[in-house]
Structure 1
Amino acid sequence: MPTDPRGLRGDAPLLDAWLRFGERPPSPFTIPGHKQRHDLVGDVVAGDVPLYAGLDTMKLSSGVLADAEARAARLWGADFCRFSTGGATHANQAVALAVAGDGDRVVVSRTLHRSLLLGLVLAGLTPVWVRPEVDPATGLPLGVAPATLRRALTANPDVRAVFVGDPSYVGTVGDIAGLADAAHEAGVPLVVDAAWAAHFGFHPDLPRHPLQLGADVMVTSAHKTLPAWSQAALVLARTGRVDAARLDAGVEATATTSPAGAVLASTDAARALLRRDGHALLRRDGHALLGDAIAATREARDRLRGVDGLTVLDGPGVDPLKLTLLLFGTGADGNLVERDLLAAGLPVESADRDVLVAVVSLADTPASLTRLTTVLADSVRRHRGAPRPVVGPAVYGVDPVTSMPPRQAFFAATETVPAERAVGRVCAELVAPYPPGIPVLAPGEQVTAAALAALDQARRAGVRIAYAADPSLRTLRVVTKRAGRADAAR
């Protein structure tokens, strides 16, 4: 029987509906086809309750989804909220469709996620790229500087919106308040892909979330740092500079018509957990859980700083619940360290030769973090070698040469050619050393000798090449010459 261990259901209409379904299971003559039977394919379908004719009637007459979304909007201080069962990927693409139209230009941080690139493709938007600052001591991105954004907006007064990703994948936090001021001075909305920031703003030791800092739209993933099902995400907005009806249309245009009720209910439950009311009988104080996780992470950082040569990312510009470690000074190979962690049943979010990232959430405990740091420290010491230099930000300083909009490059006829023969051709794929995840090439950009040299330098330094069809960089996907000539003729 489904349970509600923290007494959330009274403040979580979708969770309440999901629990009621389990308490009084019907004999459905609707989808899904397993009809709640577990004897056919097993418990893999346990908890799979649809929204339509599950959490609500087929006509959505109970309004539980709208109620839950309204509660989330109030919690985050938004005018608009929609839940997504397609993750921040769906949410980013929905927002891209909503804030501008086919052929419009938008400012986009060069640290874009693939989902936003596809959002640009779907909406027919052309990016004006801005590059984040990169810390020379670590090689990691620090966020786009407000001055950089102001220069881009002054040089491109026709742009319709600004898109940035913050915090970064490695946990660095930028100046969202400064970016909001810059965007608003130019009369355009600031959209923040805050996929990794669902916990921000709910504890005094955490950064404030983007809407609190002046952003107009915030996309966040409930499943990344909150206890929600995979693919749970939210679109939250203040509607002074964006059209709520267009946002709603963008969500509907790109969403499934069969949303998973368990994903929706878990989003609602995670939201209710964050809502602090101090009622001891409810046992749902997410604030206290966050505080415990932050304290445990702080202690973990202190332990790891005792490993000679290991750099532990920390400070006011870092997410207190992201454990990012740089292995340059230890000489250890992060891939070997990851192998030891996997053998110990401790998978981490990301590991390459030089950088290891572990995600901590309010579900973690001091015991789990102690176990992680013990195995990790032992592994680093075991694989220690000669210190390596930091892969400097110069690797990511190649200026893009745009030859066609991303949408046209994405849908154009393409071919795969040896990398050396790709110079002068139009790239058809996204190619980014990761971290910091700043693309050296994006669809629609000209492949230059400088770009290939930068990518080769990163690859030789042991940095993972992300997104490319051929991560060895022996080949690249480019637009065919005929397709490129046809575009130029248009």
Structure 2
Amino acid sequence: MATDPRGLRGDAPLLDAWLRFQEQAPTPFTIPGHKQRHDLVGDVVAGDVPLYAGLDTMKLSAGVLADAEARAVALWGADVCRFSVGGATHANQAVALAVGRPGDEVVVSRTLHRSLLIGLVLAGLTPVWVRPDVDPATGLPLGVPPAAVARALAEHPRARAVFVGDPSYVGTVGDVAGLAAAAHDHDVPLVVDGAWAAHAGFHPDLPRHALQLGADVLVTSAHKTLPAWSQAALVLARTERVDPARLDAGVEATATTSPAGAVLASTDAARALLARDGADLLGTAIAATRRARDRLAAVPGSVVLDGPHVDPLKLTLLLPGTGADGLAVERDLLAAGLPVEAAERDLLVGVVSLADDDATLGRFAEAVAASVQRHRGAPRPVVGAAVYGVEPEQVLVPRAAFFADAVAVPLAAAVGGVSAELVAPYPPGIPVLAPGERVTAAALSALLAARDAGVRIAYAADPTLGTLRVVR
């Protein structure tokens, strides 16, 4: 029997509908095809309830989704909210369709997520790239400076929006209020992909969330740092500079017509939990993360990202000073049942959520410290920052590059061609090449230097860089 251990259903209409479906145990003549039988493929389908003719009627006459979205509007201080069962990927693409028309320019942080790149393709938008600042000590991205956005908008006065990701994947936090001011000086919306920080703004020791800081749109993932099902996300917007009808149209155009009710119900439940108990649960997790961070910082040679511009619920450990290989550390952690979000030669990233406490974080920190000590070697230099010196040269808009005929050629033969793919060393995870950009000798030199230093080449069709896909 499905349960509600924290008594959230009274404030979570989608959760209440999901529980009522389990309690009534209907014999449905609708999809999904398993018809709630667990004797066919097993409990892998347990809890799978559709929105249509499941949480609500086929005509959505009960309005439970609209009710749940309205409660999220109130909690985050937005004007509109849409739940997504396709993750922040779906939400980013929906917003891209909402803010411009084919051929329009938009200012985009070079730290874009791949989903936004496809959003540019779908909407036919032309990116005007801005770069984040870089920490020279770690080679990792910081925030995009507001001055860079202001310059880009001054040089491209017809740009229709500004897109940034904040906090970054590694947990660094930028000046979102400054970015909002720069965008609003040109009367365009600031769209923030805050997928990694759905907890932001709900504890005094956390950064405020993007809407509190003046952003017009916040995309966030309920499944990353809140206790929701995978693929649960929200797009929240203020409508002074964003047309709500266009946003709705963008969401519907890119969404499944068979949304998973369990994902929606878990989003609603996570929202209710955050509203009622979030501060207490987050306080426990923040304190435990501080102790874990202190333990890892005590490992000789290690660098743990810390300070006022780092999300208190992100554990990012730099390993070059220890000489340990992060991939070897990852193998130890997997053997101990402690998988991490990211493990590269020079970097480990652990995601913390309000589900964590001293028990989970203490075990994790001790295991990482022991493994680093086991694999300790000669210190090596930080190499991530080298790729930031490459200036992109846009030849085709992303949409044209996406649909162009492409061919894989030996790397040396790619110089002068137009890249058909996204190529980003990780860390720092920022593209050196994006679809539609000229392949220059400088770009290839930076990529090869990163590869030869042991940095993973992400997103490329050939991560060894033996070949590169270019427009034919």
Q: Shorter-normalised TM-score: what interval?
A: over 0.9
Please give the secondary structure, in 1, of the residue aligned with 2:462.
coil
1:306 partnered with 2:298? yes
Which structure 2 residues correspond to residues 182-193 of structure 1 after superposition, within 5 A? Answer: 182-193=182-193
Letter in structure 2 aligned against 1:465: I
Residue number in structure 2 paired with 1:128? 128
Please give the secondary structure, in 1, of the residue aligned with 2:228.
coil
Please give the secondary structure, in 2, of the residue aligned with 1:211.
coil
Which structure 2 residues correspond to residues 215-364 of structure 1 after superposition, within 5 A? Answer: 215-276=215-276, 285-364=277-356
Residue number in structure 2 paired with 1:279? none
Tell me the distance in 2 between the aligned counterparts of 1:378 and 1:196: 28
Structure 1 segments (4+ residues) deviating >3 Å = none
Tell me if structure 1 keeps the 8 A contact 2:27–2:35: yes
From 399, 407, 414, the equivalent of 1:407 is: 399
Letter in structure 2 aligned against 1:382: R
Tell me the distance in 2 between the aligned counterparts of 1:241 and 1:392: 37
The one-character-per-residue Cα deviations of 1:237-282 (angstroms, maximum 9, x if unpaired) are: 0000000000000000000000000000000000000113xxxxxx
1:432 partnered with 2:424? yes
Please give the secondary structure, in 2, of the residue aligned with 1:128.
strand
Letter in structure 1 aligned against 2:302: L
Tell me the distance in 1 between the aligned counterparts of 2:451 and 2:35: 50
Let me know the Cα RMSD of the aligned residues. Answer: 0.6
Identity %: 81
Residue number in structure 1 paired with 2:51? 51
Q: With structure 1 as the length reference, what TM-score do the two structures score? A: 0.96
Tell me the distance in 2 between the aligned counterparts of 1:392 and 1:458: 7
The one-character-per-residue Cα deviations of 1:145-164 (angstroms, maximum 9, x if unpaired) are: 01111111111111000000
Which structure 2 residues correspond to residues 30-45 of structure 1 after superposition, within 5 A? Answer: 30-45=30-45
By how many angstroms is 1:54 displaced? 0.2
Tell me the distance in 1 between the aligned counterparts of 2:404 and 2:296: 49
Tell me the distance in 2 between the aligned counterparts of 1:435 and 1:206: 25
From 331, 355, 376, the equivalent of 1:384 is: 376
Tell me the distance in 2 between the aligned counterparts of 1:117 and 1:28: 40
Q: With structure 2 as the length reference, what TM-score do the two structures score? A: 0.99
Please give the secondary structure, in 2, of the residue aligned with 1:446.
coil
By how many angstroms is 1:392 displaced? 5.0
Tell me if structure 1 keeps the 8 A contact 2:384–2:450: no
Unpaired segments ≥5 residues, structure 2: none
The one-character-per-residue Cα deviations of 1:20-58 (angstroms, maximum 9, x if unpaired) are: 000111100000000000000000000000000000000
Which structure 2 residues correspond to residues 85-104 of structure 1 after superposition, within 5 A? Answer: 85-104=85-104
Tell me the distance in 1 between the aligned counterparts of 2:403 and 2:143: 31
By how many angstroms is 1:395 displaced? 2.2
Residue number in structure 1 paired with 2:110? 110
By how many angstroms is 1:394 displaced? 3.1
By how many angstroms is 1:286 displaced? 1.7
Please give the secondary structure, in 1, of the residue aligned with 2:55.
coil
Letter in structure 1 aligned against 2:56: D
Please give the secondary structure, in 2, of the residue aligned with 1:212.
coil
Which structure 2 residues correspond to residues 53-202 of structure 1 after superposition, within 5 A? Answer: 53-202=53-202
Tell me the distance in 1 between the aligned counterparts of 2:465 and 2:34: 45
Unpaired segments ≥5 residues, structure 1: 277-284, 481-490
By how many angstroms is 1:463 displaced? 1.2
Tell me if structure 1 keeps the 8 A contact 2:176–2:213: yes
The one-character-per-residue Cα deviations of 1:73-125 (angstroms, maximum 9, x if unpaired) are: 11000001000000000000000000000010000000000000000000000
Residue number in structure 1 paired with 2:9? 9
Q: Between Structure 1 and Structure 2, how many residues are aligned? A: 472
